[in-house]
Structure 1
Amino acid sequence: MARPRSHKHKDLPTGLVYRKDRASYVFTRIDGSTKNLGKDRKRAKSLAFQYNATFRVDPELYHEVSYSKVESEPNKISKVTIGELLPAIFTKISEDKEWSSKTLKGHQCRFNLILTFFGEMMPDSISLPDVNLFLKESNPTDSKGVFNRYLGLLKLIFNYCVSDSIMKNNPANKKIRRTMIAKDEAEIIRLTTQDFAAIHKHAGLQGIQWLQIAMELSLQTSHAVNEIAKLKYIDIEEYISIQRDKNKKTAASRVKIPMNYELEDIVQRSKDGIDSPYVIHFLRQRRYLNRPLAAGLEHPTQLRNEKISRAFSDARDELRLFDHIENKEDRPSFHDIRSLSIQLQEASGHDAQKRAAHSQRASTEVYKKGYVQWNEVADVVIDWREQPDKDDHK
């Protein structure tokens, strides 16, 4: 006679037992063979119930299966784990949302963690406690931003699952986004023209001409490192044509900046004899020439955004300009050149919004009547070499 089940395991269906020696649930089929169902109690119970409903049916309830009815309602009961279905769901979402490559890369990393955590569960066994545990484990530093990004993607994925009848409801919808508190404007440390000039000079003394060129282009065009790193010589004729990647679906994302004497000088100084299609470029060391290009690069002389930003931050810290700010992430970065450019233009009476393609307006059709619309902006030269009398650090 079999031992009676403990109170803890009385709810386990026929054939399913918990093996302490394996620290997992083991199921015995009607032919005597066994199957290890892992550590997830809910999943093990769900699989056992489904098996028993098919093979351990009382003779009085047995009937021939009507396959026409089963095929007409295939999604009522999912017999596969959610991990087998999520990759196709994520692909569908990516195609619908048309994320930029950078956004897609971030979501792909988060999706991989979601797949690892929920992959072995049955779709309708996922509950709010499971969602809470995932959000806790995926965000060990308790960052509000990280929490919201994971929750947002989880809600989106599960909503698609509900829409495709994979899940009956979305437990993630019961979670509330955490409130992000904007940094006090008085706490923001701005990059000044003195800081810009000092870092620019230091880069020259270190022989990093490409950083000087990148800094000057960012200041004169009001664009960030992502656009500056991608700028090619073929984009430059009478105008510099730049498309801002962040809001590329909007009409404001494409700008044509007139070539003036300052921009012409920058472009000419960038031509240093290195054969490269990119304005911001460098020559790899010989030992690295045969190595494959890093992800996102198209040419051996192209620089990654991170390399440009890191070179700027290294020069900033070597000069000890912002040592009073303990957290390096709060110190002005390469991106703050864009802010400095906008501030200097506004101070001189120019409207910088159009030049910077800095728009939060709703997305509009980019292509109209077979051509792409570019926004021509005013010819502005930003004279950063003139040092203001006022010390902006005080």
Structure 2
Amino acid sequence: MAPRRRSRNTANLPPNLYIVAGKYYQYRRPTDGKRFGMGTDKARAVAAAQQLNSMLVSLPGAESAVERATRPDTLLMRDFIKHYYEKLLPKRKLAEKSQKMHHWKRKYIAEALGNYSVDEIDVRDVAKFLGGYPPTTSNQYRALLVDIFRHAVAEGYCRENPAELTIPQIGEKRRKRMTVEQYQAIHAASALWLQNAMDLALLTLQRRGDVVAMRWENVREGALYVIQEKTKKHDTGYLRIIIGPELDAVIKRCRDSVPSPFLVHRRPITQHKAQRDALEHWTQVRGDFLQKAFAKVRDSLPELANMTAEERPTFHEIRALGIKLYRDAGQNPQHLAGHAQERMTKNYEAGHDEIRWVEAVASGLTLPLKTTV
């Protein structure tokens, strides 16, 4: 990254004086980097900074500190964000969905903080930005900013991580857990392909992205092999699910007259060429389409449509319902859900390419309804 001079917000200020949030002035003592508030009056802040600079230069060794503080190596936040997204984030090898979410947030962080130099941004700047979002979104932005500033500190562009000094917001959970009765109602009103998806999610405890990715080639030797998209970097993300009688019945129901490599599939009513080209197979069901189809059926039911939008259960709540039902049946759903409670050995050990599949059993849980075809 090419070094940058002070931002346009601080270019006309004396050395070591900075403006925060567009109106507050801070003086950074060049000998140790400690900051002092100078109020909102520019003339007074400038006069005080000039006097302090003059006094500090007379101290032994302070002149070199001032020179270091005013050298042209200050980097604008928008440039460091660009560096983070292009050079640092790809090394984390995030799932495609997580990458899209990160890049979506990039725009708003750059708009709010991009014109500040990295070392100008303090806790108040970050707190003000985070305060403009509801708790869940705010905490997502906070986690991202913590990581961005962690790299900035490591590369010497700032002394501390201002995002880490903020406190995560605590929000009240408004979404309601799905009940068996709600599951039954939505299931009965759904098309067969959506029923299959719901039952697979309930019995295997997999997320919607992993449910729609299940292929016939992954059903073999009495087991369903699943590589979880979200946790495939860990041992728990590689599952060999032993097929019990309940899951076997659902899998057999998935094999219909429509030829498809996917267990969950559908014959589209209409499909444009652009839509078809975006799919691996013309019968494929994407995760976002599954969620929309589920929500459409859910919202058509009076007992669920009367709930607020924030309270209505999503497809993801099937996973939570399944975990509860397995526990009620006296079984531990940890491995089936792909959760790890302690550190486990890596999937790929040094010098070996063999994946360690975590074996789990999908059996002993009776579907809470009879399938309506």
Q: TM-score, normalised by structure 2?
A: 0.71
- State whether structure 2 residue 137 is matched by structure 1 residue 146: yes
Distance in 1 of aligned mates of 2:207 and 2:346:
24
- State whether structure 2 residue 170 is matched by structure 1 residue 180: yes
Distance in 2 of aligned mates of 1:135 and 1:377:
41
Q: Residues 324 and 83 of structure 1: is their aligned pair in 2 closer, same or farther, counting only changes over 3 Å?
A: closer
- State whether structure 2 residue 211 is matched by structure 1 residue 228: yes
Say if 1:255 and 1:376, in contact at 8 Å, map to a contact too. yes
Aligned to 1:65: none
Amino acid across the alignment from 1:155:
V
Say if 2:234 and 2:346, in contact at 8 Å, map to a contact too. yes
- State whether structure 2 residue 242 is matched by structure 1 residue 252: no
Q: Residues 216 and 176 of structure 1: is their aligned pair in 2 closer, same or farther, counting only changes over 3 Å?
A: same
SS at match of 1:362: coil
Distance in 2 of aligned mates of 1:263 and 1:133:
50
- Spell out the pairing of 1:1-394 with structure 2 (5 A cutoff): 40-43=8-11, 45=13, 77-78=72-73, 81-136=76-131, 142-165=133-156, 167-170=157-160, 172-173=162-163, 175-181=165-171, 183=173, 189-203=176-190, 208-237=191-220, 238-291=222-275, 293=277, 297-323=279-305, 325=307, 327-362=308-343, 364-368=345-349, 369-378=352-361, 380-385=363-368
Distance in 2 of aligned mates of 1:43 and 1:89:
25
Q: Residues 81 and 289 of structure 1: is their aligned pair in 2 closer, same or farther, counting only changes over 3 Å?
A: same
SS at match of 1:258: strand
Distance in 2 of aligned mates of 1:189 and 1:152:
25
Q: Deviation per CA, 1:263-310, whole angstroms, max 9, x where unpaired?
A: 33323332333332221122334451344655xx53333222122122
SS at match of 2:225: strand
Q: Residues 233 and 188 of structure 1: is their aligned pair in 2 closer, same or farther, counting only changes over 3 Å?
A: same
Q: Residues 92 and 364 of structure 1: is their aligned pair in 2 closer, same or farther, counting only changes over 3 Å?
A: farther
Cα offset, 1:256, TM superposition: 1.5
Equivalences, count? 310
Say if 2:215 and 2:263, in contact at 8 Å, map to a contact too. yes
Q: TM-score, normalised by structure 1?
A: 0.68
Amino acid across the alignment from 2:149:
F
Cα offset, 1:79, TM superposition: 6.1
SS at match of 1:329: coil
Q: Deviation per CA, 1:109-148, whole angstroms, max 9, x where unpaired?
A: 1122223333344444444454344435xxxx64122222
Cα offset, 1:225, TM superposition: 1.2
Say if 1:227 and 1:244, in contact at 8 Å, map to a contact too. yes
Flag the structure with larger Rg: 1
Distance in 2 of aligned mates of 1:169 and 1:213:
54
Distance in 1 of aligned mates of 2:89 and 2:348:
22
- The alignment's C-alpha RMSD in Å is 3.3
Say if 2:214 and 2:226, in contact at 8 Å, map to a contact too. yes
Question: Which consecutive unaligned segments of at least 5 residues does structure 2 have?
Answer: 18-67
Amino acid across the alignment from 1:365:
K
Q: Residues 158 and 339 of structure 1: is their aligned pair in 2 closer, same or farther, counting only changes over 3 Å?
A: closer
Say if 2:212 and 2:285, in contact at 8 Å, map to a contact too. yes
Distance in 1 of aligned mates of 2:94 and 2:199:
30
Cα offset, 1:231, TM superposition: 0.9
Distance in 2 of aligned mates of 1:147 and 1:385:
37
Distance in 2 of aligned mates of 1:222 and 1:324:
28
Cα offset, 1:171, TM superposition: 5.9
Q: Residues 298 and 117 of structure 1: is their aligned pair in 2 closer, same or farther, counting only changes over 3 Å?
A: farther
Q: Residues 97 and 324 of structure 1: is their aligned pair in 2 closer, same or farther, counting only changes over 3 Å?
A: same
Say if 1:210 and 1:282, in contact at 8 Å, map to a contact too. yes
Say if 2:175 and 2:310, in contact at 8 Å, map to a contact too. no
Say if 2:241 and 2:359, in contact at 8 Å, map to a contact too. yes
Q: Residues 46 and 159 of structure 1: is their aligned pair in 2 closer, same or farther, counting only changes over 3 Å?
A: farther
Cα offset, 1:46, TM superposition: 8.4
Distance in 1 of aligned mates of 2:243 and 2:149:
50
SS at match of 1:275: coil
Say if 1:190 and 1:336, in contact at 8 Å, map to a contact too. yes
More displaced 10-residue stretch of structure 1: 187-196 or 363-372: 187-196
Amino acid across the alignment from 2:215:
K
Q: Deviation per CA, 1:201-242, whole angstroms, max 9, x where unpaired?
A: 211xxxx22101101111221222121011111111121011
SS at match of 2:210: helix
